[in-house]
A and B are shown apart, each in its own frame.
Chain A
Amino acid sequence: MYRLGIDVGETNTDAVLLDRHSQIVQTVKKPTSPDIVSGICAVLEEIIERNQTDPKDIAAVMIGTTHCLQALRKKENLASVCVIRIGSGKNAAPPLFEGNDSLRRCVLPDHLEIDGGHEVTGKPLGMMDYSHIDQFFSRWRGKETIEAVVITGTFSPMNPEHETMAASHVRNIVGTDIPITLSHEIGSIGFIERENASIINALLSKAMDRALHGLQFMFQHFGIHGDIYFTQNDGSLMSYEYALRYPIRTLWSGITNSLLGSSFLTGLKNGVVVDVGGSSVHVALLENGFPKEKRRNQLIDGVRVNVPMPDIVSLPFQQEQLDSEEFLEKLYQAVQRFQPRYEPLPVIFVGGGGQKLAERFHYPWADVIVPDYHQYANAIGACIAPVSGYIDRMVWMDPFNPNEALHSAIDEATHMAISAGANPKTVAIQDAKTIPLAYVPSKALRVRVKVIGTLSLSSKGGM
């Protein structure tokens, strides 16, 4: 039984085959194609046709890709998005108000605001009037194309009912081909940030759909019937269907994979990782075996969002800059940003240009490590990625009982992880907390729980 890890980077598509004892069996490197799929195809040809690997032995395929990140950077294949707000937000600030023009251009200039949503207690704020939705879409019909829809409701992380009800109504109007992003599936408390994140998810849906078109068919063509997974921003796996629905969750998966891979290759749980790619260098912190999360000021392309994302410093990089003192100084500063004030951590170089850059990087404070197989760290990281269950929501409790809220969230997250393919015996709590609110007497509580487990290859994942 093998696990096949594939990393689709900007320049190269790498693949690594790991056996059941997590030993590296094969490595392949091919140039990346614009559509992802043909690059993966070239890699598979090498593994299956040239190296005679039996496709039936491949139990699972894990793919990490920076495709969405590139699409967002180059503003390529972004969907034109229609925004619907339920409940509040009437006239507060238009959607994507703080975004740059190139992003805002993709959002239809007119958005819809309807009554509804919920109060902090979970009670409805008002009744939804579907006729407003009908009128809104009939005005658009035949004018500008709508390629994706975003629906954000007041307090939907506490009660998503109105979002889902509106979605099924919109679905009847726009048909099944247009992706609908519901904000409660994307972000947490904070209407504007959650809507921003949902809009970015919707913008990316087109790029993701095009890139993955025909992927499943291709794996079948090669005789691979194992499950296909994608790695997410937090380093855990999600299914092919989820990747299509939540492209925002793949944005930083390439970098996350290199962190997991670095941990695997060095046996270290903590360190500063420098991932050297074709046109950029990413620096991030490995903390207890996982990427350090960015907790404040999360921005995507200058837009504030409230989704979990790794804390990364990205530096543009060309091969000619290898000997540039200026670049090396910038890199040093980036590494220092992640170093604790006392007891500096080892610095791990991975990625295609890792070896060369490490040789020129002088670091007197701690070890500089370039592990074997460093050029395949991303693909290896994808291979060993865990499965997680994550909950971040608000609850209103009467009577007020924080422990009960926490335990039921832990149970639910555990269930999520197991249904996503985690081996129940390995599921453990990574983070669990409750956060009360200031300034008003209330029974509201924010609950954040994350559990992780290792992928069970025998089970068929549902997530």
Chain B
Amino acid sequence: MKRYMDEQTVAALSRGAMYLGSGGGGDVKLTELMAKRAIRENGPVPLLSPFHVPDEAWVIPVAIMGSTTIFSEHLPSGSELKKVVETIENEKHIAASAVTGLEIGGMNALTSVIAAALTNLPLLDADGMGRAFPELQMTTYHGFGVKASPAVIANRPGKTHLLLSDENTDIEKQARILVTSLGGWAAIACYPMQGWQMREAGILQTYTLTIRLGEALSAAMDAHDVMEKMQQVFQKSIYGKPVKLLEGKIVDLQRNIIEGTLKGSLVVEGSGAYIGEYLSVFFHNEYLLVQKHNATLVTVPDLICVLDEETGYPLSVEELENRGKVWVIAIPSPFLLQTAKMLDVVGPMQFGIAERFIPMEERIKPNDNEG
């Protein structure tokens, strides 16, 4: 079955991708607009099933890394995303059969669509994070042995930077320094791989799922509604069933810049059925940890969302407001992220949380008053 992504599919993808950002991943609106334009001018993008790509066909993941706020001011032309794909092709003397996602959570769900539309390649239905993460090695591609190198970075047309290293973490270090010196964001293509590797190392069919989520949420009115629809969609997916942890009011919000990055926590005071309960949510670019009265409920890589009660929108770390009324919910991560190999890369320890990962389903007893 071949599916095409048109402007309407892009709108659904963008809506769904916000919820997979786990508080990060950046605002989807600008990349959504650019993807729509690329499709309007170049035609719909074929969405390719990972099971239908030949073993030896080359697939190139793309993304934009850096500050989304700077990106929203210092606009891209779109051609950066095309350029990085073409440069990798030249560097490796290969012809790509498809582009694919690096990160499905947030704005990068759309950057791969833009790249596909501009290069006239299909989009392979998979990504390497299943959510949003802050660093390039925090992918299943890395976890399952794909080399990030050669990686190519660009943030203005005509100028690319090639990064080479055997160590994926070293590519991340080089890239981060380069992105800062380039003005705050850049397009990147890395982890070029073949079809057989993709099937082993990718989180598969996350585009289809995210589009389905976005379509289900198109008419959602409030947090209550959003939660119900999310549970329906995620129940039949590689993710687990989302759980509502608390509804209430943000009573304390600490947002700090520590060593140049955004870190902090919020405390939500329960209301209604949750009166007398308090949750603490810790974040570092994304939400990482939820504790209730000092007992841990959820940790990364499971997904944590803070929904605006009134509209059901997922609030990013940058959008949090003191006294805001919110729902805190959690979504079990895809199993691939919970494997020992991946926990070495995206487990709680990697984010400075001194705890072993225990899946949220084992920590939280089923609760009848949810939703």
Contacts and interface: CB of A to CB of B under 8 A. Distances in A.
Interface of A: 87-94, 97-98, 117, 119-120, 125, 154-155, 189-192, 295-297, 304, 337, 340-342, 400, 402, 433, 435-444, 446
A87 B271 contact: no
Contacts of B318: 435-438
Interface of B: 24, 26, 29-30, 33-34, 36-37, 65-70, 72-79, 134, 179-180, 183-185, 221, 247, 255-257, 259-262, 271-272, 285, 308-311, 313, 316-319, 321-322, 325
Contacts of A442: 67, 180, 184, 257, 260
Q: Most chain-B CB neighbours within 10 Å: which of A91, A337, A342? A: A91
17 contacts: A88-B73, A88-B75, A97-B33, A119-B184, A191-B75, A192-B30, A297-B311, A436-B318, A437-B67, A438-B24, A438-B26, A440-B70, A440-B179, A440-B261, A441-B260, A442-B184, A444-B67
Nearest to B286: A438
A196 to B, nearest CB: 11
Given A119-B183, A189-B73, A337-B310, A93 B34 contact: yes
Contacts of A190: 72-73
A120 B29 contact: no
Contact of A191 (B73, B183, B313): B73
Which among B36, B68, B261, B308 has the highest number of chain A CB atoms within 10 Å?
B261
B259 A98 contact: no
A88 B37 CA distance: 17
A341 B24 CA distance: 28
A438 B285 contact: yes
Most A CB within 10 A of own CB, among B134, B183, B247, B319: B183
A400 B37 contact: no
A342 B275 CA distance: 11
A337 B308 CA distance: 13
A92 B34 contact: yes
Given A97-B37, A437-B318, A296 B311 contact: yes
B255 A435 contact: yes
A92 B313 contact: no
Given A88-B74, A189-B69, A435-B318, A441 B33 contact: no
A436 B262 contact: yes
Rank and list the top 8 A-B pairs by shortest CB-CB distance, nearest first.
Answer: A441-B260, A92-B75, A440-B67, A89-B75, A88-B75, A438-B262, A91-B77, A190-B72
A87 to B, nearest CB: 7
A392 to B, nearest CB: 13
Contacts of A155: 73-74
Contacts of B183: 119-120
Contact of B67 (A90, A295, A439): A439
A441 B259 contact: yes
B309 A341 contact: yes
B317 to A, nearest CB: 6
Nearest to A343: B271
Contacts of A120: 67, 70, 73-74, 183-184
B172 to A, nearest CB: 13
A400 B73 contact: no
Contacts of A98: 33, 36
Given A191-B74, A342-B272, A439-B134, 16 more contacts: A88-B73, A93-B34, A93-B37, A117-B74, A120-B74, A189-B73, A190-B72, A295-B319, A341-B271, A341-B272, A439-B24, A439-B262, A440-B261, A441-B260, A442-B67, A442-B180
Q: Which of B68, B260, B272 has the most CB of A within 10 A?
A: B260
A338 B272 CA distance: 17
Contact of B261 (A93, A94, A296, A439): A439
B74 A87 contact: yes
B29 A440 contact: no
Contacts of A92: 30, 34, 75-78
A342 to B, nearest CB: 6
B199 to A, nearest CB: 30
Contacts of B69: 189, 437-438, 444, 446
Contacts of A296: 308, 311, 313, 319
A429 to B, nearest CB: 14
A31 B305 CA distance: 51
Given A92-B77, A119-B183, A120-B183, A437 B313 contact: no
A154 B309 CA distance: 34
B79 A438 contact: no
Contacts of B33: 93, 97-98, 192
A189 B72 contact: yes
Contacts of B78: 91-92
Max count, chain B CB within 10 A of own CB: residue among A94, A120, A125: A120
A311 to B, nearest CB: 9
B321 A191 contact: no
Nearest to A155: B73
Contacts of B271: 341-342
A446 B262 CA distance: 13
Contacts of A154: 73-75
Nearest to B221: A337
A190 B27 CA distance: 10
A125 B308 CA distance: 37
Contacts of A435: 255, 318
A155 B34 CA distance: 20
B252 to A, nearest CB: 14
Contacts of A438: 24, 26, 67-69, 261-262, 285, 316-318
Contact of B257 (A192, A304, A341, A436): A436
Nearest to B308: A296
Contacts of B74: 87-88, 117, 119-120, 125, 154-155, 191
A119 B156 CA distance: 14
Nearest to A98: B33
A295 B310 CA distance: 11
B316 to A, nearest CB: 8
A350 to B, nearest CB: 23
A117 B75 CA distance: 11
B19 to A, nearest CB: 14
